[in-house]
Every structure is written in C-alpha cells, then in structure tokens.
C-alpha cells in the first residue's frame, strides 16, 4: 500500500506476535450465541472481546472501532464491555499518559517519510483521521 517491503511487513508482524500474543483469540463462535441487539455482521468483534474477557476476567475489556453505530451500547454494557471510538480512546490515553502519547504522535510524520510519503503536520494527520478531540488536546498542550 505504501511501498513497504514484504520483509519489513513480516518483521513488524513478528514483533506484534511477540508483543501481543493474545491478539488472535482463535475460534470465538461460542461467544456469539446470546448476542441479539448489535449488528450480526459485527458479532465476531464482540465475541473476540468476550473471549479476551473470559481469559482474563480481571481485565477491563472494550471494543475499539470507528463503527460504533453497529454496536448496541446496552448490550455491551450488560456483558461488561466498554465501547470506544478511536478519538475517545486516544483522548483517554492522552489524559492518562500525555507524554507517551505525545511521543507516539510526534513520530507519525517520520513514519510517513520512512515509507516514502510526504511529511504532514501531526495536526493535519489527526484531523484527516477524524481524531478531532486528540488534535485539540495536542494544540491546547503546546506552549504559547
């Protein structure tokens, strides 16, 4: 997509497998059975969240998606799951870990250059990606 080499993609994939070994929840069909109010095309997402929740009951588990309209909040709440859109989630990350998120955000323009794309300001990137609350928080945090 961005002229990334297969070797680079495989290296990134391998790192993700090590750092996030439970990202693939395997067969989650058993966790779909009692879902009714969310969009059936998205039940696999809820089922994966429920599988993660079953494996680590002490953990706080959420569905993170831009497509929040297809997820019934009361159904998720009844299952003990939260629902976040990326902007809300990243704003919460900003509030809890401002320096870590600032460093991550500031590296994005360099990542674009590394894959041969034109550099853009982080503000432009955040707005294009519809991360308006995060963009506003970043602007508000900059020294005058």
How does pLDDT run across 21-78, given as a tens digit for each residue? 888 899 999 999 999 999 999 999 999 999 999 999 999 999 999 999 999 999 999 9
Specify the number of domains making up the chain. 2
- Look at residue 144 and tell me whether its pLDDT is greater than 80: no
pTM for the whole thing? 0.79
1 part of a folded domain: no
What range does the domain containing 122 cover? 88-141
52 part of a folded domain: yes
CB 130 within 8 A of CB 89: no
CB 63 within 8 A of CB 73: no
78 part of a folded domain: yes
């Amino acid at each position: 997509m961005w002229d990334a080499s297969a070797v680079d993609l495989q290296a990134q994939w391998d790192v993700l497998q090590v750092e996030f070994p439970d990202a693939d929840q395997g067969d989650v069909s058993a966790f779909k059975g009692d879902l009714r109010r969310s969009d059936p095309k998205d039940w696999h997402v809820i089922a994966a969240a429920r599988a993660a929740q079953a494996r680590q009951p002490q953990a706080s588990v959420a569905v993170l998606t831009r497509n929040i309209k297809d997820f019934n909040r009361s159904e998720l709440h009844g299952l003990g799951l939260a629902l976040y859109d990326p902007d809300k989630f990243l704003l919460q990350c900003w509030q809890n870990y401002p320096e870590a998120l600032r460093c991550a955000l500031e590296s994005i323009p360099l990542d674009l250059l590394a894959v041969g794309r034109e550099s853009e300001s982080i503000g432009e990137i955040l707005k294009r990606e519809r991360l308006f609350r995060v963009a506003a928080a970043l602007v508000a945090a900059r020294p005058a």
